Amino acid sequence: MTQTQNIKHKINQQNLIGLFKELSRISGVSGREHRVAGFIRSFFDKASMKIKEDDARIKTGGNQGNLWLIPNSTDLSKPVTAFVAHMDTVRDTSQSVFDINDEKIFSSVPAQLGADNRWGLSMLLNILDICLNDDENPPNIIGICTVAEEAGMLGAKSLDFSICRPEKAIIFDSALRPGSYIKNCAGMSLFECHFSGKAAHSAVDPKSGISAILMAAKVLTEMEMFPVTNGIISNIGSISGGSATNLIPDSCTINGEIRGFNQDDIRNLAQQFSEIASTKAAERGGKVRFSVEVDFEPYSLEKWPELISFTESILERAGLKPNGAVYSGGSDANVLNIAGIPAVNLGVGAQNPHSDNEFVLIEDVRSCLNMISAFYDELKEMESANSAVLMPEQSEKSGQ
Ligand SMILES: [Zn+2]
């Protein structure tokens, strides 16, 4: 690394950490991202950039739509690379106290720091800022700041691609360390079983009652024992039913999820669960209503080999060892990949997400800065190489 690059990175490190400090303490839980969007608008105030808000606010019922940050230098008729981060946090981060030592950035009081995903958002704003200050052929990039990612990627599911349909998307939203990126990601479906029995006094007339809670208990035991393979994970997250100890309960509802790396596997297990529930309910003289919905589908980047090689070359250029990881948590990358836009979610080192102990290592801050530079420089070089290839053809056509 040259001395100039060292100086450049040092300056950027201060800027990036300063930006993160400001962003991290803005209150903006899922569906309430308006203040975060306000900060972004003022950050780019007077910049040569168009900021568009799509109608995700209406579709999701929140107070903010997704923000599309489009530098004036970006030509939307040409292939565009989108950088993506989400504006929402799971918990209100406004009570966190930003602190930093030689090792890491953290909150000095028990609260979510906001590293997920304000750290990724800081990286996104930083790369666009570099673009806006580049007078020499900046790369064809945009930023997309989504809403309600933590509430089931509702913002990404409402993205308005009539504004721009990116050729590929780079997402700064994995808790993994820099160098890792998510290559194979699980999908998740949610299911609900609503059991109906028959109410009766538990002591006066117990024989005429049918307990929906006991029905659910039988079904849960069977579901737990059901053999699963191929990395499938299921969980029952909630159960509710009954109202008094002297009443045989006539209703009980269980809610659960199934995660897996193949949508057919998820669908098959849901079907098996549905059959178990019907059989066990019928055996006890009751009924069940089973419903399942896809929350997000799995993806594998093997479908986009060019994105894998692009990502790995960026990581190597940033001095990192590429690691294509298998991951069970969803992100906006699931939605974009299923929508046909090759999307990679990169490890940015926002560790222990959502907890009181969220932090970012200073070592990872440096790696993230190197990633930003690597993305920027690589895209710029690739695009100028492509236009150089086009030049002779264009010259022929114009008869020069
Ligand atoms: Zn996140």
Ligand 1 centre from 119 Cα, in Å? 10
Ligand 1 centre from 209 Cα, in Å? 47
Instruction: Judge whether 380 lies within some domain.
Output: yes
Amino acid letter, 359: F
Closest C-alpha to 86, from 127, 143, 45, 39: 143
Domain of 65? 3-185+298-392
Ligand 1 centre from 187 Cα, in Å? 16
Domain stops at, among 269, 295, 321: 295
Instruction: Judge whether 400 lies within some domain.
Output: no
Residues 245 and 136 in one domain: no
Residues 171 and 196 in one domain: no
Instruction: Judge whether 180 lies within some domain.
Output: yes
Domain stops at, among 264, 295, 326: 295
DSSP 47-98: SSEEEEE-THHHHHTSS---EEEEETT--TTS--EEEEEE--BSS--TT--E
d(CA 53, CA 65): 6
Domain stops at, among 260, 278, 295: 295
Ligand 1 centre from 107 Cα, in Å? 18
Residues 206 and 138 in one domain: no
d(CA 200, CA 198): 7
The tokens 């737990």 sit on which residue?
Answer: 224
Ligand 1 centre from 220 Cα, in Å? 31
Residues 264 and 122 in one domain: no
CB count within 10 Å of CB 238 equals 9
d(CA 219, CA 88): 37
Residues 274 and 159 in one domain: no
Residues 171 and 222 in one domain: no
Predicted structure pTM score? 0.89
CATH of the domain at 97: 3.40.630.10
Ligand 1 centre from 374 Cα, in Å? 22
Residues 170 and 121 in one domain: yes
Ligand 1 centre from 66 Cα, in Å? 15
Instruction: Judge whether 309 lies within some domain.
Output: yes
Residues 173 and 59 in one domain: yes
Residues 68 and 92 in one domain: yes
Residues 18 and 148 in one domain: yes
∠ at Cα 183 (232, 177), nearest 5°?
105
Ligand 1 centre from 89 Cα, in Å? 7
The count of domains in the chain is 2
Ligand 1 centre from 395 Cα, in Å? 47
Instruction: Judge whether 399 lies within some domain.
Output: no
CB count within 10 Å of CB 245 equals 6
Residues 47 and 124 in one domain: yes
Ligand 1 centre from 131 Cα, in Å? 24
CATH of the domain at 223: 3.30.70.360
Measured in residues, the chain has a length of: 400
In this predicted structure, what is the pLDDT of residue 225? 87
Residues 177 and 207 in one domain: no
**Six-digit token pair at 213?**
């809670």
Instruction: Judge whether 12 lies within some domain.
Output: yes
Q: What is the CA radius of gyration of the chain?
A: 25
Ligand 1 centre from 87 Cα, in Å? 9
Ligand 1 centre from 150 Cα, in Å? 7
What does each of the 400 residues of the chain score in pLDDT, given as a tens digit? 443 444 454 458 888 999 999 999 999 999 999 999 999 999 999 899 999 999 999 999 999 999 999 999 999 999 999 999 999 999 999 999 999 999 999 999 999 999 999 999 999 999 999 999 998 889 999 999 999 999 999 999 999 999 999 999 999 999 999 999 999 999 999 999 999 999 999 999 999 999 999 999 999 999 988 888 888 999 999 999 999 999 999 999 999 999 999 999 999 999 999 999 999 999 999 999 999 999 999 999 999 999 999 999 999 999 999 999 999 999 999 999 999 999 999 999 999 999 999 999 999 999 999 999 999 999 999 998 887 765 554 444 444 3
